[in-house]
C-alpha cells in the first residue's frame, strides 16, 4: 500500500427529496412494515423522482468544494464509484467534472458495487501520493431505483438512492490511510447481478434476453458478508499496526442491520462502535458508507486523530476495508 497523507477536508451527502416508507410499499406489493423491519432494519428509503445519479453527485461535489473553501481548478482527480450511472459513457465523474468546471481534474468512474467507495478511496490514495498537495474528490453515487423490479419484494424493499463523498488532500499531515484489505471473489459473482445486456447483433446467434433488474441470492450474500467482512476488517487493522479496540467507528456498508450486528458479534465488539442508518436510507450500494460518514460528521462525532474503519461488500463479489486516521 502507498503511504501518503490522506486528509479528509470535507464530507457531504445528497439524497432525493422523495421518501418511500415501508407502508408505501405495501400499496404496490405483498409485504408489511413489520416484515421488512424484522428482516432488514429498514423503515424507509429515498427514491429519485426528478434527480439523476449525476445531479446528486454534482450536488455533493459542489458542497465539498464550498466546505473546503478551494477553487475548482485546484482539484486534480475526481473518482465516482457507481453501479448505476446514467450513461455508460460519459462517465458520471466526467459529467461532475464538467458541471463544476474542474477543468484540470482527471475524472473516471469505478464499479465495485457496494465496495466501490472503499476501492475508490484506495485508488485515490495512490494517485495523491504521486503529487504533494494534490486534491481529489471521491464520491459514491447510486440511482438503484432504476435497477429494481418493483414487483419483487425480495429486492425492491432493500434499495434506495443517494450520493455522498469526501474531498481529500495530500497535505503532509499525519492524516492517512493506515492499512487496507481489498479482495474479490469473482467465482461467486453471479450471486448478485444487475443490468445484464445480451449483446444481440445481426452476426451472431445470441438468444439471451436483456435483464436490467437487480437479482440476488440473499442467503449466499449474507453468508459471504458474515464470513468475509470480519476477515477483511481484521486484516486491514493488522496492516495498520493497531488493535480493533483502537478503532472509534466501524463505518460499514448498510446492506442489512442483521449483517452489521453479526459482524460486531464475530469481532467481539460493542454495537456502539458500529453506527447504523439503514433504517432511513436502505441499501444505497457505493453511496452507503459515505452517507453514514457524512451523518457522523454532521453530528459532530468525528475528531482529528480518530481511527475509522470503512468497509464495503457486495457485488463482484467484493469486500474491502480501509483504516483511516482522520
Give the three-state DSSP class for 105: coil
Name the residue among 286, 287, 284, 259 with its Cα closest to residue 274. Answer: 259
253 is a catalytic site residue: yes
CB 286 within 8 A of CB 312: yes
**114 is a catalytic site residue:** yes
Of 22, 114, 170, 307, catalytic:
114
Q: Among this protein's residues, is 104 annotated catalytic?
A: no
Q: What are phi and psi of 268, to 5 degrees?
A: 55, 45
260 vs 212, 230, 301, 303, 308, CA distance in Å?
28, 10, 19, 23, 16
Helix (H, G, I), strand (E, B) or coil at 244: helix
Q: Look up residue 85 and give its three cell numbers.
A: 450511472
Question: DSSP readout, 118-185?
Answer: HHHHHHHHHHHHTSTT-EEEEEEEEEGGGT--TT-HHHHTTB-EEEEEEEEE--SSS-EEEEEEEEE-
In degrees to the nearest 10, what's the CA dihedral of 29, 35, 39, 43?
80
Phi, psi of 145 (to 5 degrees): -60, -25
Cell numbers found for residue 104: 484540470
Q: Among residues 22, 53, 283, 307, which one is catalytic?
A: 283
Which neighbouring-strand residues pair with 109?
80
Per the residue annotation, which of 46, 181, 253, 307 is the catalytic one?
Answer: 253
C-alpha–C-alpha distance, residues 309 and 295, integer Å:
15
Measured at the CA of 236, the angle between CA 120 and CA 311, to 5 degrees, comes to 50
Separation CA 224–CA 318 (nearest Å): 9
Question: How many residues in total does the chain contain?
Answer: 326
Q: What is the phi/psi pair of residue 131, to 5°?
A: -155, 115
Catalytic residues: 114, 253, 283
Amino acid at each position: 500500500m502507498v503511504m501518503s497523507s490522506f486528509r479528509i477536508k470535507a464530507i457531504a451527502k445528497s439524497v432525493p427529496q422523495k421518501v418511500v416508507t415501508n407502508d408505501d410499499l405495501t400499496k404496490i406489493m405483498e409485504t408489511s412494515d413489520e416484515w421488512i423491519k424484522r428482516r432488514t432494519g429498514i423503515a424507509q428509503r429515498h427514491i429519485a423522482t426528478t434527480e439523476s445519479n449525476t445531479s446528486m453527485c454534482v450536488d455533493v461535489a459542489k458542497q465539498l468544494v464550498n466546505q473546503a473553501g478551494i477553487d475548482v481548478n485546484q482539484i486534480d482527480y475526481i473518482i465516482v464509484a457507481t453501479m448505476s450511472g446514467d450513461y455508460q459513457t460519459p462517465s458520471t465523474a466526467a459529467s461532475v467534472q464538467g458541471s463544476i468546471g474542474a477543468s484540470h481534474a482527471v475524472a473516471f468512474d469505478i464499479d465495485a458495487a457496494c465496495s466501490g467507495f472503499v476501492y475508490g478511496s484506495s485508488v485515490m490514495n495512490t494517485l495523491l501520493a504521486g503529487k504533494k498537495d494534490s486534491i481529489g474528490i471521491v464520491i459514491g453515487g447510486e440511482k438503484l431505483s432504476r435497477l429494481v423490479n418493483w414487483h419483487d419484494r425480495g429486492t425492491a424493499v432493500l434499495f434506495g438512492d443517494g450520493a455522498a463523498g469526501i474531498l481529500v488532500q495530500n497535505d503532509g499531515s499525519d492524516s492517512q490511510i493506515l492499512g487496507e484489505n481489498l479482495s474479490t471473489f469473482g467465482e461467486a459473482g453471479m450471486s448478485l447481478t444487475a443490468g445484464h445486456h445480451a449483446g444481440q447483433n445481426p452476426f451472431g446467434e445470441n438468444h439471451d434476453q436483456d435483464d436490467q433488474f437487480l437479482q440476488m441470492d440473499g442467503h449466499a450474500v449474507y453468508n459471504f458478508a458474515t464470513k468475509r467482512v470480519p476477515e477483511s476488517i481484521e486484516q486491514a487493522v493488522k496492516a495498520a499496526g493497531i488493535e480493533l479496540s483502537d478503532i472509534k467507528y466501524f463505518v460499514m456498508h448498510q446492506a442489512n442491520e442483521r449483517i452489521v450486528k453479526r459482524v460486531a458479534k464475530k469481532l467481539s465488539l460493542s454495537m456502539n462502535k458500529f453506527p447504523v442508518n439503514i433504517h432511513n436510507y436502505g441499501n444505497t450500494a457505493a453511496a452507503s458508507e459515505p452517507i453514514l460518514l457524512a451523518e457522523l460528521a454532521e453530528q459532530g462525532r468525528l475528531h482529528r486523530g480518530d481511527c475509522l474503519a470503512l468497509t464495503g461488500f457486495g457485488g463482484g463479489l467484493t469486500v474491502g476495508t480501509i483504516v483511516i486516521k482522520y
